[in-house]
Amino acid sequence: MSSLLIRNVRPMGASPVDVRVQDGRIAEIGTALAAPAGAAVEEGHGALLLPGLVEGHTHLDKTMWGMDWYRNEVGTNLTDKIENERAFRHASGHDAAAQSLVLAKAFLALGTTRLRTHVDVDTQAGLRHLEGTLRTREVLREVQQIQVVAFPQSGLLGRPGTAELLDQSLAMGADVLGGLDPCAIDGDPVKSLDVLFNIAHKHQRPVDIHLHEPGAMGAFSLDLILQRTEALGMQGKVAISHGFCLGDVGAGVSERERDALLARMAKLGVVLITSAPPSRTVPPLMACRQAGVTVLGGNDGIRDTWSPYGNPDMLERAMIIGLRYNLRRDDEIEVALDTVTHSGARGCGFENYGLVPGNRADLVLVDAQTVAHAVVSRPVRKLVVAGGRVVARNGMLSADLAAL
N- to C-terminal Cα separation, the chain: 23
* H or E segment and range at residue 88: helix 78-92
CA distance 354 to 364: 11
Among 71, 93, 256, 400, binds a copy of itself (CB under 8 A): 71
Taking the CA atoms of 74, 76, 79 and 82 in sequence, report the sign of the dihedral they define. positive
Select the span of 110-118, 206-214, 256-264, 305-313 touching a copy of itself (CB under 8 A): 305-313
Among 3, 307, 359, 398, binds a copy of itself (CB under 8 A): 307
> Per DSSP, what are the bridge partners of residue 112?
53
Least Cα distance to 50 among 267, 304, 372 occurs for 372
CB of 326 to a copy of itself, least distance (A): 4
The reply on whether position 369 binds a copy of itself by CB under 8 A is: yes
Work out whether strand 176-180 and strand 40-51 pair parallel, antiparallel, or are unpaired. unpaired
Select the span of 3-11, 55-63, 69-77, 358-366 touching a copy of itself (CB under 8 A): 69-77
Among 1, 32, 68, 160, binds a copy of itself (CB under 8 A): 68
Q: Which residues within the stretch 312-351 sit at the binding site for a copy of itself (CB under 8 A)? A: 319-320, 322-326, 328-331, 333
CA distance 132 to 351: 25
Beta strands in 132-230 (DSSP E): 145-151, 176-180, 207-211
Dihedral pair phi/psi, residue 16, rounded to 5°: -65, 140
CB of 377 to a copy of itself, least distance (A): 8
* H or E segment and range at residue 373: helix 371-377
Whether residue 340 contacts residue 353, with contact meaning beta carbons closer than 8 Å, is answered with: no
126: which DSSP letter?
B
CB of 371 to a copy of itself, least distance (A): 10
The reply on whether position 142 binds a copy of itself by CB under 8 A is: no
The reply on whether position 216 binds a copy of itself by CB under 8 A is: no
Among 158, 188, 201, 309, binds a copy of itself (CB under 8 A): 309
**Closest to a copy of itself by CB, 217 or 333:** 333
**Closest to a copy of itself by CB, 191 or 328:** 328
Q: Tell me the per-residue interface mask from 260 to 299 with a copy of itself, x by CB under 8 A, - otherwise.
A: ----------------xxxxx-------------------
